[in-house]
Structure 1
Amino acid sequence: MNSSASIILRKKPNKKGLYPLAIRITKFRKSTYLFVGHCIEQKYWDDTKCLVKKSHPYAGRLNTLLLTKLAETNKILLELQAERKDYSASQIKKEISFKNRNNNFFDTADAHLKEIRTSNNYGRLSVDKAIIGHISKFNKSKHLSFLDLDENYLKKYIAYLRNKPTISERTIANHLVLIRLLFNRAIRSGLVDGKFYPFGKDKIKIKFPEANKVGLTREEIKKIENLRDLTSEQHHARNIWLFSFYLAGIRIADVLKLRWSDIYDNRIHYTMNKNSKLVSLQLPEKVTNILREYIENKREENDYIFPELKMIDPSNKKKIFDKSKRANRVINAFLAEIAEKAGITKKLSMHIARHSFGNIAGDRIPVQMLQQLYRHSSVTTTMMYQSYFINKETDKALNSVIDF
């Protein structure tokens, strides 16, 4: 077929004065180029070896990428020759691009995001999209083959994240979980051999640090209940927080989506946004008292109880998510002011309502019952919410030993 492939540095610089690395495909003296997504200064190019010089800080990675791409291109050229397909250089390029289009980590990532968007899971979409954005920024290119995504690459990425003051160890673990998920997807799709899997024994291990979300005590909650001289915004934020706490720590997204039609037979019925599990809880008198403050704004039976989503089309899932997210930030800001007025030094946020209920429940109800209230699949997850009770028990055990 008289076709060949070679590694080259294109001698046409971009706007930044950098030169693109490429695979040149030639047939009958006509050439076309497959760009690998990286550019370098001309001084780093070795014309004799047709590789990046070792003086370049990423020479090893770039040369591995170039040689891998050259091998992939030659393999496809041989396949086309075996099939006796007589293609021009530009047609060969299209064929190679077609066969390799899903070998890119970011192509698999885009497919993953598209699936989440289709399912209207905007919370997950927001988190995963941000993680993929971090990876793209670190990679400095929208091309990353799964072969390049090895243990050394991941170790450098972890170090990169740890240099970001706003990124916690828990967030780093979440990044690795998503990368692992996408790598497994690529293996199942036949895009990469399982032997290149960078996770597991003697490889990259994902460790989740223990959460340090401290719930409030009964005394602290009473302080919040008894606060006076609150602004209308602070009063509303307190109502939302206490409503959540009184009902076993309902998540803020679920609280804001509750409708008057969800209340019947002196119970509140709703579907958890996070896992689609059904919940039915009896209404405590304290919750009924809060509801009385909002009944006068009820326009119809299917109206939202709280005002944040009243003007939003219920069928517009994206707007509901965005509005709920903004409302959570606003409410948390007012909760911080409430904590200061109450003399509480612990962080007060909507999610702390859930931890506060778990802490106080620890010495009152069995952990299995709390698991039912939270609708957790694993009792281990539930126990994370009972740290105060667990600490109290370990303190008692410690004192029993040294009390002599």
Structure 2
Amino acid sequence: MHDLKALRADPAAFDAALARRGLDPVAERLVTEDEQRRAALAELQQAQAQRKTIAREIGQAKRQGEDTSEIEARGAALRDQIAQLETRANEIQKRITDVLQVLPNQVDASVPDGKDEADNVVIHQRGDVPSFSFTPKQHFELGEQLGLMDFAAAGKIAGSRFVMLRGALARLERALGQFMLDTHTGEFGYQETTVPLLVNDGAMYGTDKLPKFAEDSFHTDDGRWLIPTGEVPLTASVMGEIMAADQLPLRLTTLSTCFRSEAGSAGRDVRGMLRQHQFTKCELVSVVTPEESEAEHERMTRAAETVLERLGIPFRRMLLCAGDTGFGAAKTFDLEAWIPGQDTWREVSSCSNTKAFQARRMNARYRAEKGPAFVHTLNGSGLAVGRVLIALMENYQTEDGKIIIPDVLRPYMGGLEHIG
């Protein structure tokens, strides 16, 4: 959510920030609406004061045995006026909120201009892209050839965009998740957390998933939501809190199943595991003071990069341009792994600083020197397990269809050196 006070102070700057995302100006309309709301509230305050005066007059007249009908008539008219003013103020506030809650966060000044992913900037690349003496297979070709990746069985029981992993491949997915958790908790100070996979409207709204992205998530009959990412329960755990400054930074991680409807993705990545309705992800969330958020963003991204480096998977860090930066983010680094079977880079992590955008929506604050202030929240994939499994399978494949297990994962695989 946006700071209406800051918008009033500099409407031109607010519209300029929207323009960087390719959006039309709205500041003038919002300022006008807000002036009308404030005028209605001022009238309401005056009417409420008059109502107190009339109440005293009625009490005094009754004590003196005087007729109160005329005063009570004025009081009744005033009650009607107050009700009308409250309705008017609430209607205007709703119109303002309806606009503000679907406007994206303002991008940071360091974010480059641009319309889409073609304008994103490569910050650095780590690891050498492998050279094969044969044509590398895609992950689903390898998995089905091994008999360990079953899309047909998953489709029979759940429909498209699901998969069943079996045997050593299922264990490899589990090993990846455990390795990620162990790295982030043991080396980077994130607290391991088991989270609910179902959350309420407040958690979804506070983490900017509602109302704009309702169609991207699964909604249950009892009014809850299957989490689209572990970010939602982790970040929303501080919803409505006022934390002590010494509680920050708060760093949380979870390895959870996530669910996405993939609305609007028909025809994209139909084959394989790249775009699934259900997937596993290791999520990182940080809650910090505003002064710490920029450094925390770099720290979080490095934690995610460390996992890829130790797995020996080539990757590059991308700084997303203004037009490609996500709704709630002020600045985002994507980590893209090399996928030999597709001969391209694919995102396996997105690390974002939302600054105070989510904190305003969920009223999450800390005790600053001058009083309660909004925290800054950050989130990142540390990493998307299924997509890293794809990258591992394709980068570590052999000509005869085996998959070599990276050294760091072998202790999690009972010493197994390869699959196949």
Structure with higher RCO (Cα < 8 A, 6+ apart): 2
TM-score bracket relative to the smaller structure: under 0.3
Q: How does the TM-score come out when normalised to structure 2?
A: 0.19
The structure with more helix, counted as a fraction of residues: 1
The structure with more strand, counted as a fraction of residues: 2
